[in-house]
């Protein structure tokens, strides 16, 4: 089974590239983030022509997530139990989970955090708390079933996951609190499935500004965290860096994981 995750940074703007990528790579499950469309406006008919069922969750703004599957789509869950909102009463569409074949998987778009001390930063940490609680419940419900959290976590796990740690010293994505929140998922029994790079460094995000992609100035923030059953079944994992190239590319590249289940 092939699993992939990709922050497309607007499914409408990226639709031709998305359809071509699906056709060329044939993932069994693709998790998408930052749809920037409503659930109703997701191009489900276009991806259905390639054999994919869709669970989309979008609000029409800058977030939104989806799961595309050609191995079944069951037990769909929208939002995390107890997921916080921003503002407090507005729960954003940042999480969708489903059972696809023998795999339980969540597509996640963790809040950015904006800057340390900002209310959005505190929201991000609270969101991670809800994610940890939801993960605990998932692992307890079916401990032997392969399970994975995939998506844009907006945290680089270590200094090795950014091109120059000094550049990010006073920024989000690398603060001790964010990294501790992410590491909590490892404490629960998940494994960081680290991809290899087909070319260059295994980063997954390069800012549009300043030619950062061509300078190799990236970060690894699109992650795949799996339980023991998932991690033991991994046969390959890589970043499809070439998908970040060219006109109309997202600022993120897909991460692909092959598993033997």
Domains of the chain, CATH where assigned: 2-259 (3.60.10.10)
Residue 62 has pLDDT above 90, yes or no: no
Spatial distance between the Cα atoms of 65 and 55, rounded to a whole number of angstroms: 9
Long-range contacts of 175-181 (CB under 8 A, 24+ apart): 175/116, 177/125, 178/113, 178/124, 178/125, 178/128, 179/155, 181/124, 181/125, 181/128, 181/129, 181/132, 181/155
Mean pLDDT of 107-128: 96
H or E segment and range at residue 23: helix 11-25
Please compute the mean of the pLDDT values over residues 92-111 and round it to a whole number: 98
| Residue % of the chain over a pLDDT of 90 | 92
Residue-wise over 232-256: b if at least 16 C-beta within 10 A, else e? Answer: ebbeebbbbbebbeeeebbbbbbbb
pLDDT given at position 68? 98
Q: Could you say which DSSP state residue 59 is in?
A: B
Specify the pLDDT at position 199: 80
Helices (H), 142-252: 176-187, 212-215, 228-233
Q: Among 28-32, 67-71, 134-138, 194-198, which is the least confidently predicted range? A: 194-198
Whole-number average pLDDT of the chain: 96
Residue 227 has pLDDT above 90, yes or no: yes
Please list the residues that pair with 234 across neighbouring strands. Answer: 259
pLDDT grade for 168, boundaries at 50, 70 and 90: confident
């Amino acid at each position: 089974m092939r699993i992939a995750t990709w922050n497309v940074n607007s499914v409408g703007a990226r639709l031709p590239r998305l359809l071509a990528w699906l056709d060329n790579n044939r993932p069994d499950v693709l998790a998408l983030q930052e749809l920037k469309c409503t659930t109703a406006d997701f191009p489900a008919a276009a991806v259905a022509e390639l054999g994919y069922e869709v669970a989309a969750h979008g609000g029409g703004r800058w977030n939104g997530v989806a799961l595309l599957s050609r191995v079944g789509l069951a037990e769909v869950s929208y939002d995390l139990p107890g997921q916080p909102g921003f503002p407090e009463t507005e729960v954003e569409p940042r999480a969708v989970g489903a059972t696809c074949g023998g795999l339980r998987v969540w597509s996640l778009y963790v809040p950015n955090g904006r800057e340390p001390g900002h209310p959005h930063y505190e929201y991000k940490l609270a969101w991670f708390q809800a994610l940890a609680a939801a993960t605990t419940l998932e692992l307890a419900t079916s401990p032997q079933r392969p399970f994975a959290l995939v998506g844009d976590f907006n945290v680089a796990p270590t200094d090795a996951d950014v091109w120059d740690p000094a550049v990010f010293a006073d920024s989000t994505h690398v603060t001790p609190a964010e990294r501790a929140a992410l590491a909590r998922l490892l404490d629960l029994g998940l494994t960081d499935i680290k991809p290899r790079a087909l070319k260059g460094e295994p980063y997954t995000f390069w800012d549009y500004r300043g030619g950062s992609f061509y300078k190799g100035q990236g970060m690894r923030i699109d992650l795949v965290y799996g339980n023991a059953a998932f991690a033991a079944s991994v046969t390959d994992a890589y970043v499809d860096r070439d998908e970040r190239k060219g006109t109309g590319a997202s600022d993120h590249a897909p991460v692909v994981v092959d598993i033997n289940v």
